[in-house]
Structure 1
């Protein structure tokens, strides 16, 4: 090992999976130094994204499971600290980090490849002062602010009046807070658009699992359902920019001029609009250049078949290695490969998972959750404080000893 040039070792390490690299850190100090280097971590992640390697799928059911994308054969239970069995949500992934929700007060970030875990500080959901209202549905999102290289969690809590019995009625207000990993703190967003009041509909969001923000172009996206009573006959895409921490307008695709349900997804980093027409067929559109309305392109269209009685839910997850197929999640029950050339579909059988699930794609990475400089500074400060305490004990002891002699 010592006879090999370090650039050769580095080039070999770029091609290795994350779990192997984690083991190799114990080989030698030079290897550990290479693998822990921020430039190496960034380059390894970029190569994984470019070659579509180190991909995994998280299955969200009663429990969390992980499936290797290249194999797509067996689901393995995902183990993580503070696991309390059933009920944990994985509401987002970015650069190998998963955002987990155990309860409304228990959120965490987790890297399954390195097993780094960080529990987020608790931030209460506070109803507006002076009004009688209660907390209702809560939306979550997770992503990276590329400009500052910070990872952020967004929480949008909706309130309705205590005497409001109709969940389809008008909601009172929203609270939006953003957690910054760099600052390890929450910040309340005060400038909120008026349309947030009408964003939630009970059956629309709960049955179609639209509570998780979809990350694309540095923006988290949700769907605002149609409100016929307000003259909004079609769904709209709502965006939250992680850099400016403001809600932004998102160009909509020109879907067919008829009633449809809209959903959002991300495919290879691009925003997707999924238009569902009465559960008969589904069109998937891709925004190839973020923010440009004219870049919306219809990627595929899926018809109801004998194997699929109703298309209640469909979402694209990832391209195949050679980008000739797209993996689809259908009805929260099955995966299917869609061939972009032949326009035919093929079922994918995955063993070991529950019969009903949601899916989240993540790439294995070495991206740290803890800021190593901050941790080292904290440890250094703790050592300094311990030295001060030891010196004080020694000085106190010597002082008492002199007094006894006198």
Structure 2
């Protein structure tokens, strides 16, 4: 006689076991699981659980093209595909025009900033050009503009102060002079607690050029910068959200022109991936821990050889793609970059994933191939992103 089957249910397991299982469950799956029962909802929305889940989450690559795609860099599998949120897709400047869009990641939140020429922000006809978006929860909020002017030379950042309060920063490096109008460089802070902008006293040196590549680490924003009269001597400039000031924290290692890519390392340090466009030599540098006194870079590993891939693509105009990369093993990086094939109406964008360590290119996998009508769209790559259930700063859900 056959023994009766035992019924099994996750909800019948001890709470500590369920919690451990949920820690290993992707954020987007937990978001879908919230309505299952009150017990799960209470756990998944608990602040301490959300924080610990984020700390355990692994870095992903996110690419926004026709859809939002989130990919596991280790397996090269697309773990999530979802439509572009209507709030972004229907924006007059459209998120697909990523040549003119800046994105910065912070705690699973993406700062989206459209750079759209210049206009007075007091003009009521202007659509807000700054949004905060959580791809895992699919929540998005637009930030109202302050008084003044939107310019294509605006820089944006996202971070938080020592109390954990999220803020945005906006500044312009140089005065904008158009038909007699001069916009004096200033620094503005957006406080999510008060939903308002204010001007702070932080100075912006007008002789400093700040590169667009930036990263938010441990609540502060970091850029590669140089003084316009000495482009060869680059340094790291940070905006500290606790005291709301700019600081220059260290010099960068010698680079190959502008072919140096800034990212995060181990969650508390910076990294630079550099490649010589002629010899194809690759160098990876990492910094000492941020906030532990003097910061400096040391070489993590380097690689040379005739068969190394070009990790950055540029054309004769102004289109270019910067690779995104993350660290998954010691002395190893996984790099995701875009190649462009064809011309005219037959342009193909090819996304390729490389695993590179000090011994060479360990693997190469093509992850996507798309034919595009708009030439500029072929140069769209992605960003490093850590999925989280952290709510939008001023959302109450």
Per the shorter chain, which TM-score range?
Answer: 0.7 to 0.9
Contact 2:155–2:171 (CA under 8 A) maintained in structure 1: yes
The 1:358/1:125 distance shift into structure 2, 3 A limit, reads farther
The 1:289/1:211 distance shift into structure 2, 3 A limit, reads same
Higher share in helix:
1
Tell me the TM-score normalized by structure 1: 0.71
The 1:293/1:332 distance shift into structure 2, 3 A limit, reads farther
Q: CA RMSD in A?
A: 3.4
Match of 2:223 in 1: 222
How far apart are 1:99 and its partner, in Å? 1.1
Give the alignment of 1:232-311 within 5 angstroms: 233-255=232-254, 262-269=260-267, 270-277=269-276, 279-280=278-279, 281-291=281-291, 292-293=293-294, 295-303=296-304, 305-306=306-307, 308=309
1:337 to 328, 344, 354: 354
Q: Tell me, which stretches of 5 or more residues in structure 2 are unaligned?
A: 1-8, 117-127, 314-320, 341-350, 371-376
Per-residue CA deviation, residues 315-351 of structure 1 (Å, 9 max, x unaligned), is 552122x446311245776544344352335323112
| Structure 2 counterpart SS, 1:358 | coil
Match of 2:84 in 1: 79
Contact 2:76–2:353 (CA under 8 A) maintained in structure 1: no
Contact 1:143–1:218 (CA under 8 A) maintained in structure 2: yes
Per-residue CA deviation, residues 378-403 of structure 1 (Å, 9 max, x unaligned), is xxxxxxxxxxxxxxxxxxxxxxxxxx
Contact 2:239–2:245 (CA under 8 A) maintained in structure 1: yes
Find the aligned partners of 2:247 and 2:111 in 1 and give their Cα distance: 23
The 1:40/1:7 distance shift into structure 2, 3 A limit, reads same
Contact 1:139–1:213 (CA under 8 A) maintained in structure 2: no
How far apart are 1:293 and its partner, in Å? 4.6
Match of 1:390 in 2: none
Number of equivalenced pairs: 340
Match of 2:120 in 1: none
Say whether residues 1:151 and 2:166 are aligned partners: yes
Find the aligned partners of 1:355 and 1:162 in 2 and give their Cα distance: 32
Contact 2:300–2:331 (CA under 8 A) maintained in structure 1: no
How far apart are 1:252 and its partner, in Å? 1.7
Give the alignment of 1:6-405 within 5 angstroms: 6-48=15-57, 52=58, 55-59=59-63, 65-69=68-72, 70-73=74-77, 76=81, 78-82=83-87, 83-84=89-90, 85=94, 86-87=96-97, 89-102=101-114, 105-126=128-149, 135-145=151-161, 147-157=162-172, 158-162=174-178, 173-193=184-204, 195=205, 197-200=206-209, 210-228=211-229, 233-255=232-254, 262-269=260-267, 270-277=269-276, 279-280=278-279, 281-291=281-291, 292-293=293-294, 295-303=296-304, 305-306=306-307, 308=309, 315=323, 317-320=325-328, 322-323=329-330, 325-330=332-337, 334-351=351-368, 355-371=378-394, 375=396
How far apart are 1:283 and its partner, in Å? 2.4
How far apart are 1:242 and its partner, in Å? 1.7
Contact 1:58–1:65 (CA under 8 A) maintained in structure 2: yes
The 1:324/1:287 distance shift into structure 2, 3 A limit, reads closer
Higher share in strand:
2
Which has the larger displacement, 70-79 or 242-251?
70-79
Contact 1:139–1:156 (CA under 8 A) maintained in structure 2: yes
Find the aligned partners of 1:267 and 1:154 in 2 and give their Cα distance: 23
